[in-house]
């Protein structure tokens, strides 16, 4: 809904509220402003709206509206509108004024506290928001689930992973959130954060416990699988590490470039490079990521020398032309070429290399943010697991 439509709806709500107040026989307080004043205020507000000055319009409407049971929802809507327009201080004032009203109905008190908590989060006053939300949570009313959602946001911002996991688990116990993939992915990452902390302290057992918890939230979590593979590898369990890395390849094939390094190390330790070469050769035909070709070219060089690698690359590039593959081919061929051509080819190789290095290798599938580094949470849209390797990275 565009903002004009919101204002028009608000205006209608305000007029309805005014009409109710005007024509309902409710004993009025002594200091109540005359209805003529209020009506004049509505026209001033309307005038601001028509002149495209929504902030002034909102102020005037708030001034015109007395808080009573008929206008509470309108106040809540105006407060939320103020916050969305970046006027967090004013939103806080509106919501605090509502809360200060004696005898506020429990349902409204709950929704007002939730709104005030969102104001506090927007203003960076996280401890105040946390206190309000915990109160709502403790009361166990219908607002409990919203409170939990906002608490997860707060604990994630504060990097209080234990509490973030606790609130996520509580949310996921509700049938309507159970299948929320984003919630599950985020919870798995909180466990990974803890696992990484334990790994930094060399506490493999505790890290494994967190990874197990991460898998309970999201078995296909790439980060948890990479961590587990790393632990298995450092413990000398190379076969288990390969199994976990292969699982990533099956569930999230776009992450292949992150798997090649550890896979090569594990097969090396098992002294079974032919098996590794077989694996790469099998996946090559359907693999869009050029890093597999480079890894294979390297394996062929080690096994049968550079001539064999040149032949392999030539054969591959005629079927699937790629700049990265071409640079590798040039690198192998330059040494064997005519000295007159050598410096030109060297220059060409350097230029293509430079061109390729400038390209981003990862992209957020949610907001399109491009980066050279892999972030589990997108720095732009703050979503987990949305940044993925660009499959054609390095290709022309």
Q: Which stretch binds Zn ion (CB under 5 A): 6-14, 77-85, 202-210, 377-385?
A: 377-385
In whole angstroms, the minimum distance from the beta carbon of 374 to Zn ion comes to: 13
CB 290 within 8 A of CB 312: no
**Which range touches Zn ion (CB under 5 A), out of 48-56, 157-165, 195-203, 375-383?**
375-383
Backbone angles phi, psi at 234, to 5 degrees: -70, -20
Part in contact with Zn ion (CB under 5 A); list of ranges 71-79, 126-134, 255-263, 376-384: 376-384
Determine the angle formed by the axes of helices 181-200 and 161-172, rounding to 10 degrees: 150
Where are the extended beta strands (E) located within the chain? 362-364, 370-371, 387-389
From 171-179, 186-194, 232-240, 365-373, give the range in contact with Zn ion by CB under 5 A: 365-373
CA-nearest of 219, 288, 214, 203 to 254 is: 288
Distance CA 34, CA 327 (A): 82
In the structure encoding, which two tokens stand for residue 38, read together? Answer: 């209020």
Using the rule CB under 5 A, which residue among 165, 296, 378, 393 binds Zn ion?
378
Can you tell me which of 85, 220, 366, 388 binds Zn ion, judged by CB under 5 A? 366
Strand partners, 370: 363
> How many CA atoms lie less than 13 Å away from 151 in the CB half-sphere?
25
* Smaller CB separation from Zn ion, 85 or 366: 366
Residue from 18, 217, 316, 369 touching Zn ion (CB under 5 A): that is 369
Residue 36: other Cβ atoms inside 10 A: 8
Q: How far is the CB of 51 from Zn ion (least distance, A)?
A: 37
Taking the least distance from each CB to Zn ion, the nearer of 82 and 378 is 378
User: Of 203, 237, 361, 380, which one interacts with Zn ion (CB under 5 A)?
Assistant: 380
180-to-185, 217, 219, 248 alpha-carbon distances in Å: 9, 11, 14, 21
- In the region spanning residues 345 to 364, those forming contacts with Zn ion, defined by CB under 5 A, are 364
Q: Which of 138, 381, 392, 396 binds Zn ion (CB under 5 A)?
A: 381
- The binder of Zn ion chosen from 46, 283, 348, 367 (CB under 5 A): 367
d(CA 195, CA 163): 15
Q: Applying CB under 5 A, does 152 fall inside the site for Zn ion?
A: no
Q: Which positions touch Zn ion (CB under 5 A)?
A: 364, 366-367, 369, 378, 380-381
């Amino acid at each position: 809904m565009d903002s004009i439509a919101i204002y028009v709806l608000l205006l209608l709500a305000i007029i309805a509220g005014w009409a109710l107040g005007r024509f309902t026989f409710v004993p009025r307080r002594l200091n109540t402003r005359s209805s003529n004043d209020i009506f004049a205020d509505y026209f001033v507000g309307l005038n601001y709206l028509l002149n495209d000055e929504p902030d002034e319009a909102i102020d005037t409407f708030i001034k015109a509206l007395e808080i009573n049971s008929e206008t509470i929802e309108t106040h809540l809507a105006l407060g939320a509108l103020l916050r969305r327009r970046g006027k967090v201080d004013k939103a806080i004032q509106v919501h605090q004024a509502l809360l200060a009203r004696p005898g506020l109905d429990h349902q409204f008190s709950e929704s007002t506290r939730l709104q005030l908590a969102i104001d506090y989060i927007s203003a960076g006053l996280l401890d105040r928001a946390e206190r309000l939300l915990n109160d709502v949570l403790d009361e166990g009313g219908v607002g409990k689930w919203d409170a939990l959602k906002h608490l997860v946001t707060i604990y994630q911002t504060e990097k209080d992973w234990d509490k973030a996991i606790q609130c996520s688990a509580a949310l996921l116990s509700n049938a309507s959130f159970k299948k929320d993939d984003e919630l599950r992915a985020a919870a798995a990452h909180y466990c990974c954060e803890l696992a990484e902390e334990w790994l930094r302290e060399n506490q493999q057992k505790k890290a494994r416990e967190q990874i197990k918890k991460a898998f309970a939230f999201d078995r296909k979590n790439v980060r948890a699988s990479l961590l587990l593979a790393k632990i298995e590898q450092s413990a000398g369990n190379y076969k288990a590490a390969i199994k976990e890395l292969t699982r990533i390849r099956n569930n999230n094939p776009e992450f292949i470039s992150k798997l090649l390094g550890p896979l090569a190390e594990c097969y090396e330790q098992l002294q079974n490079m032919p098996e590794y070469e077989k694996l790469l050769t099998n996946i090559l035909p359907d693999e869009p990521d050029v890093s597999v070709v480079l890894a294979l070219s390297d394996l062929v060089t080690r096994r049968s020398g550079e001539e064999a690698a040149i032949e392999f690359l030539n054969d591959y590039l005629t079927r699937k032309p790629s700049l990265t593959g071409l640079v590798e081919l040039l690198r192998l061929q330059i040494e064997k070429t005519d000295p007159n051509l050598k410096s030109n080819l060297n220059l060409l190789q350097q230029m293509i290399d430079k061109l390729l290095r400038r390209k981003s290798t990862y992209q957020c599938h949610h907001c399109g943010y491009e980066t050279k580094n892999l972030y589990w949470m997108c720095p732009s849209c703050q979503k987990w697991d949305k940044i993925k390797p660009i499959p054609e990275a390095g290709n022309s």
